Structure 1
Amino acid sequence: MRAMTEQPEWEGSLNTRRVLPGLIRSANLSFLTETGRAQLLASGLGRVIDLRNRQERQIDPAPFTGTAAYLNLPLLPSGNPALERAGQAATDNGASYRAILDDSGNHFATVFGAMLDAPPGPVLVHCHVGKDRTGLVVALALELAGVARGVIAADYAETDRHMQGVYSTMLARQGDPQKRRQLAAFLVSREGDILSALEYLDTTWGGTAAYLEAFGLTRDEQRRLIARLTKEPQ
């Protein structure tokens, strides 16, 4: 199966694309205009999964809080010293992703369970810029769906084409030159970074399916999830 590249027509949306018939990825939905928000609500989504934490949501409030479709499921566990130390030690996205996979297995299983249990309609998943947390969730979903890894990597790298303006703003806000350089090293989507995450699951867990099963998402649930996400719209 190949990933899709359809761009939903929601005014103001950033880094938004349909990667499977039933799965859409995006950056923070606060970028949407009022018209874009109305367009999204009218598009028939079954669920919007926001992977950000509470602090991020206070800075950029989720525009669909309180709607039936919206669900906030932070992917990164708060107050996890091991994850925090690994994140500080990481020198590139690949190392960061491996640390996230080590410490967030239950969170990934919860996110995929929420996709499976969602009301009818496509599922949209997003974080802040739609690169790291969203990138990992989407990569795992595409892997389960049998999408070639070269296609998964190309979809991940596509984020760079959409987010340069946001990256520039983030860097401009960082006054410390050293911290700015450190941040810049992570504001890039190299194909090898997402591939290294999938390869890490191969060598450490025996693959993505086994990884998710270890944290409670059964093989039957995985099959039903992929059937849902790959079902062509009527």
Structure 2
Amino acid sequence: MDDENFVSPLEGVAFHDTALTSVQLALDRMMCAVEIEGSSGQIPRGERVTIAFHDLHSFYASFNFAEMLRNARPGNVQDGHYYASGLFRAYVTGGMLEAGATHLTLGDSTPLDDSDSGESMPVLLSDYRSLYDVDFDFGFLQRVGISPALGTVTAHVLMRVGDLSSDLVPAVLSFSGVKSCNLRLDVAAMKDSVRFGNIASLRVSAKGGIVWIYCREGFVEVVAEQVMLRKFG
């Protein structure tokens, strides 16, 4: 894009003093939806605006949930910019978010279905120590849902039930009482990890309540009070 003639599609959107309520990341569709809510700024209190990123190629986020929640009512978003390079950057009290995409759209609802929390799936485990025995190698991270307001993070994955030639089954890692969440993902490069999956390994610190999902092109780190794994099969 030409910087001199670039007109941001977010022109006129006042990010200051809004609250970031949720982030929905769909790696399988190369999309991301960021929802903000009016608090004490120009956007009316309670009114929600969703920014949808299409043809997403990179994503980074670092959130301190406690700090974001403390500042939600006055507004935890300090500012947001969409640059001619295709990079969106939002500064929040308690972290920041960056998303690189070909284009974005604005709406009043998310284009991604964030209603499936995996609650219909049988519970496989509900403590950190049990995760030590679960193999996520050669699996696929498909979606990540982040809700600072609710203190939750969900990671939808496809897991192998055996070796590399075995079937893939859907599973959901659900975190509650989340303290912090950090992600850095090369979404475009992960799309090419078809044969061996985009998950390299999963590491756990039961004492610290930390889970690291190491992907072939990035990572997801969640620090939370509770974790639950639901899986079919």
Q: Taking structure 2 as the reference length, what is the TM-score of the superposition?
A: 0.26
Structure number with greater CO (CA < 8 Å, separation at least 6) is 1
Structure (1/2) with the larger helix percentage = 1
Q: Which has the larger radius of gyration?
A: 2
